[in-house]
Structure 1
Amino acid sequence: MKKNLGGGGFSNRGPNAIWILLFFIGIGMLYLFWYNSTNRETEFLTYTKLLSAVEQQKIASMTVH
């Protein structure tokens, strides 16, 4: 006589794996939001200040919004 293992022996394991996966995805998203908010330095810049900074080679990277 065959014993019923309840779905191949994986009963009550599926939802726990989904919760763990969602937990890690949530932690990753929270880290990305935190990293983006702490490493942002914004500075308002006029065109003449921009030209003088480019001439003095003080600008490593720039993002225009």
Structure 2
Amino acid sequence: MLDELRDDDAVRLVMLGGVLRRNYQSLVGSLTEQALRQVSADLLFLSCTGVRPNGHVVDNMAVEAP
């Protein structure tokens, strides 16, 4: 997402802290979780493995699940 939006002046881009998982291009860990608690956003891109019909979000990566 950073690579796509970094040069767009119309976008205010906020990146969360955490440990970079280079293979997956994701940030994980307690720093990321703490940062999410402090953010209010109009639009959020957050990935997961899937969403169940009842709306529960699921992930099969223990480090990303929290």
**TMscore range, shorter length:** under 0.3
More strand by share: 2
Higher RCO by CA contacts (8 Å cutoff, separation 6 or greater): 2
Q: Using structure 1 for the length normalisation, give the TM-score.
A: 0.25
Structure number, greater radius of gyration:
1
